[in-house]
Amino acid sequence: MAGTGKHHGGKHHGGKHHGGERNGTVAYVNARLIDPASGMDEPGALVTCDGTIADLGPRLFSDAPPPSVEVVDCRGLILAPGLVDMRTQLREPGEEHKETIGTASAAASAGGISTMICLPNTDPVIDDVAGVEFVARRAREVKATKVFCYAAATVGLAGRELTEMGLLAETGALAFTDGTRAIADSRVMQRALNYARTFGLLIVQHPEDPALAENGVMNSGEMALRLGLRGIPRVAEVMTIERDLRLVEATGGRYHAAHLSTREAVEAIRRAKARELPVTCDTAPPYFTLNETAIGDYRTFARLSPPLRTEEDRDAIVEGLADGTIDAIASDHAPHDQDSKRVPFAQAEDGIVGLETLLPLSLALVHKDRLGMADLIGKLTCGPAGILGLGEGRLRKGAPADLALIDPDKPWRIDPDAFLSKSKNAPWENMPVQGLAMRTVVEGRVLHDRMT
């Protein structure tokens, strides 16, 4: 983890990466404190001691901090909870050439993320106690970003036999999902939701009908026809969600739809929430930042699952975030090596890296006046944490000192070559953005620092 980020041609703002022990007492003064969980958004100070938040508020240190305390002048920047990224693929175990828990932690801390939750589609699949314990052990060894995991909903992600969810939850699995595959069989999904309700657990769905999506590589429509590529119809997403919502109504099980990408899916979730079903959802920056035209001339870095959709869909995702239908924004970090992406479009792997771009791409919603700052930060902190039953994502006395010091207006250009992630597959080359994490703290330990 140790080392110094390099400045590449003015495109990337580097910083120092630390893996040190907990600091003593540190006072963050002259900050804009934003804690969406409590509604706090005001100038103030915060003090950490031995890895926890000792105190915070607008009148703290109204005179001056004690002389023995380390003081960080936040210069009016936002001091918020560290971001909680509820959907990442960390590739360990099994594909460490694409990413590891260590390299992902370095990338996450550069992006202001203090907590990651990883999908179970590793090799071997996280479908037993040993898999959940492996992730916890590796996270302790790396001792950087907090890492939790989902466990598979079905054995081997095969979509047939349910895993031992109760036992896996006791071991530390936060929720249950087949990762990048839909739980397609209606009876299996019904059983999963029933099981989940009995134990108070959450089922997370990749909403895409596999029969409709089979062999598809981009959004169906005029552009797919012009490029000669097999399309994935937009209805594949909403059909799966609407079926699942019927099963939620029948079972009472808690349900979360991942990475929404279509207008109809947002509308279906909105209706379900109006009926007070136990339903939540998230999306990812590509779905409110890009549309299918980003594929251009067969750009494999813009191949995702679900695929980039139409401009109408992109706008509906923004609207869903603005009106509260969409509860959280996740990076949907999916690292791939060059060999997986620099191939013909139809043969390329799905997904892009997202840890270091989650914050600036999301802040565009604030800069374009579609979301308020506190609302946006809520979708990156207490929103996902609350869905998963985590105490993280909040600024409160006695809580772990997981912090992100954010300059929301800092201009820079995205340079994937400068990413700390092992993989560089992102379609944002040279894109101008505003907003950067200036310091990331996990349990009092400074993991990334651009303030000096």
Q: Which residues are catalytic?
A: 332
Pairing label, strands 70-73, 113-118: unpaired
Pairing label, strands 25-35, 70-73: parallel
Burial 399-430 (b: 16+ CB within 10 A, else e): bbbbbbbbbbebebbbbbebbbbbbbbbbbee
Report the C-alpha gap between 48 and 395 in whole angstroms.
Answer: 11
Question: Are 161 and 191 spatial neighbours (Cβ–Cβ below 8 Å)?
Answer: no
Report the C-alpha gap between 242 and 223 in whole angstroms.
Answer: 27
Report the C-alpha gap between 129 and 35 in whole angstroms.
Answer: 35
Of the chain, the end-to-end C-alpha distance in Å amounts to 18
Contacts (Cβ under 8 Å, ≥6 apart) of 342:
300
Question: Are 156 and 130 spatial neighbours (Cβ–Cβ below 8 Å)?
Answer: no
Q: Reduced to 3 states, what is the DSSP secondary structure of residue 165?
A: helix
Q: Among residues 257, 248, 255, 382, which one has the least CA distance to residue 326?
A: 257
Place of tokens 């813009």: 302
